[in-house]
Amino acid sequence: MLILLDRDGVLNQDYPDDYVKSPAELILLPGVGEAIAQLNARGWPVALCTNQACVGKGIIDEAMLTRIHNDLRDRIARDAGAHIDAIFFAPDPPWAVTDRRKPGPGMLREAMRQFHATPEQTVFIGDAVTDMQAATAAGCRRILVRTGKGKKTQAAGLPEAVLPVTIAESLPDAVARLLHEETDETIR
Ligand SMILES: [Mg+2]
């Protein structure tokens, strides 16, 4: 299985109406490194698909985004021995949106191509309705976490078009569910 993750609100604290502009502003949520390590141990590739309009808007440059992501990689490696296999980001500003920017499916399709995974073999975990829309457009299975914008997303009511969506409390909870399912399958 290929595991695709949104970044802000799933791995790290989401700032409504602001961006993570430096490594210091990236605050990891509890248990995230360990959850990714469990996916690594299971042999499932893990990739991020993250909208970062702050790059297209010129708020940070791509070099800073790379620093933030290198720091994220260092921290989960140090905390939990975890690694992320690939990071896809959409720098598109709102005035120049391509299909790579979620709710478009472009980044998810790139990830599936890179890892030779079909949509049926792919799960997307996010906290926003746009994540669920992107995953629906790409044909992947969807899990909404209640961290970040997740509680608000759930309370607002998910559009019928994105259903079915599995609800999880957090990334560690989502990962536990996926690993448990896998065990069930093995028993059957
Ligand atoms: Mg998010």
For 41-65, write each residue's pLDDT tens digit: 999 999 999 999 999 999 999 999 9
Query: What per-residue confidence (pLDDT) applies to 165?
Result: 98
8-state DSSP, 90:
E
pTM over 0.85: yes
What is the whole-number distance in angstroms between the Cα of residue 80 and the centre of ligand 1? 22
Does residue 153 have a pLDDT over 90? yes
Query: What per-residue confidence (pLDDT) applies to 99?
Result: 97
Taken in order of first residue, the domains within the chain and their CATH numbers are: 2-187 (3.40.50.1000)
Residues in the chain: 188
- Cis before 103 (ω within 30): yes
Which residue, 74, 62, 64, is CA-closest to 28?
74
Residues 6 or more apart from 79 whose CB is under 8 A from it? 28, 33, 34
What is the whole-number distance in angstroms between the Cα of residue 100 and the centre of ligand 1? 15
Name the band, by pLDDT with cuts 50, 70 and 90, for residue 132. Answer: very high
Q: Is 8 a catalytic residue?
A: yes
What is the whole-number distance in angstroms between the Cα of residue 7 and the centre of ligand 1? 6
Q: Is 14 a catalytic residue?
A: no
Q: Average pLDDT for residues 82-110, to the nearest whole number?
A: 97
CB 85 within 8 A of CB 45: yes
